[in-house]
């Protein structure tokens, strides 16, 4: 009899704990965006006219992955990976993290391409993300060369 009561109690506690675990809110999750050439729209960065990239997924020349780890609304940093597959060979680009269309963001890393125009960069920013959509701009000198589609971090 004691074994049955103990077994029933253990099963009850285990199932109760499982129910609590499933009610736990999900994390922010990484957001992926395509990286598109901005050469047709290239404007000098000081004009403050940078824009996010647009296009069809097949037109992308790379990708951007941004994440705000932590609880939704309480993330403490932004992590990111930028992968460029269509850049100019042996070139260094400033990687900028931008919000909105009125600024070109701040330089947060550099990305240097190899002889085939491929390059990668890693971003780590100890800032509290805004709910505003973010996008990544790769600048070659004073001109926007590539830009990602916008992603929203929570």
Express each pLDDT in 76-115 by its tens digit: 888 999 999 988 899 999 999 988 665 677 899 999 999 9
20 in a structural domain = no
Residues 6+ apart with CB under 8 A from 61: 35, 36, 37, 84, 85, 86, 87, 146
88 in a structural domain = yes
Return the structure tokens found at 3. 């074994």
64 in a structural domain = yes
For residue 40, what pLDDT is reported?
53
12 in a structural domain = no
The per-residue pLDDT of the chain, averaged, comes to 75
Q: Kindly report the CATH number assigned to the domain that includes residue 126.
A: 2.60.40.200
8 in a structural domain = no
Q: Report d(CA 99, CA 97) in Å as an integer.
A: 7
The tally of domains found in the chain comes to: 1
Is the pLDDT confidence value at 37 over 50? yes
- Give the residues across from 145 on adjacent strands: none
Per residue in 1-22, pLDDT tens? 555 544 444 444 344 433 333 3
Considering only residues 54 and 56, tell me which one the structure prediction assigns the higher pLDDT.
54
For residue 64, what pLDDT is reported?
94
Residues 6+ apart with CB under 8 A from 99: 105, 130, 132, 133, 134, 135
- Structural domain boundaries enclosing 66: 28-152
């Amino acid at each position: 009899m004691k074994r049955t009561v103990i077994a029933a109690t253990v099963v009850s506690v285990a199932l109760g704990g499982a129910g609590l675990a499933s009610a736990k809110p999900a994390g922010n999750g990484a957001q992926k965006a395509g990286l598109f050439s901005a050469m047709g729209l290239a404007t000098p960065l000081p004009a403050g006219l940078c824009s996010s990239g647009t296009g069809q997924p097949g037109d992308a020349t790379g990708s951007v992955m941004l994440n705000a780890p932590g609880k939704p609304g309480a993330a403490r940093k932004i992590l990111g990976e930028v992968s460029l597959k269509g850049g100019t060979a042996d070139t260094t680009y400033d990687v900028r993290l931008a919000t909105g269309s009125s600024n070109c963001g701040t330089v947060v890393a550099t990305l240097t391409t190899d002889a085939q125009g491929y390059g990668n960069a890693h971003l780590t920013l100890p800032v509290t993300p805004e709910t505003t959509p973010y996008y990544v701009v790769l600048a070659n000198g004073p001109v926007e060369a590539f830009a990602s589609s916008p992603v929203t971090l929570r």
